[in-house]
Amino acid sequence: MTPFGEAVRKLRARKGVSQKEMAAALNVTPAYLSALEHGKRGTPTFDLLQRIAGYFNIIWDEAEELFLLARFSDPRVVIDTSGLAPEYTAFINRLAGRIRSLDAATIGELSQLLENAGKSG
């Protein structure tokens, strides 16, 4: 499940609706909505994101957070390291090869390192 899928599932639970009901309201298939929640589809279109936000009648801040989660939930990521030093390419390939074996604590630590690196530069 993706961060976006988890957020949508929580919104559905809060509203008390099934995937089937939500899919019908958004004019998508239940199979598509399920695949989107489980990370088997790419990032939803901006139009669909707006319809989801409208369906749940969420305030702008919450909608913005949902849109950001969608952006960070594409299950297939391409990272272009062309023009960077070789160690960048090596690092990203090592990460790709080991991502499935990293535990939640390690992912948390790496996420914090990235956050901190963005603030200091």
Span 68-112, pLDDT tens digits:
998 888 777 889 999 999 999 999 999 999 999 999 999 999 999
Indicate whether 121 pLDDT > 70. no
Containing H/E element for 7? helix 3-15
CB 5 within 8 A of CB 39: yes
Span 17-66, pLDDT tens digits:
999 999 999 999 999 999 988 888 878 899 999 999 999 999 888 899 99
Q: Report the C-alpha gap between 15 and 9 in whole angstroms.
A: 10
74 SS3 class: coil
**Mean per-residue pLDDT over the chain, rounded:** 90
Q: Where are the alpha helices (DSSP H) in 39-121?
A: 46-56, 60-71, 86-98, 104-120
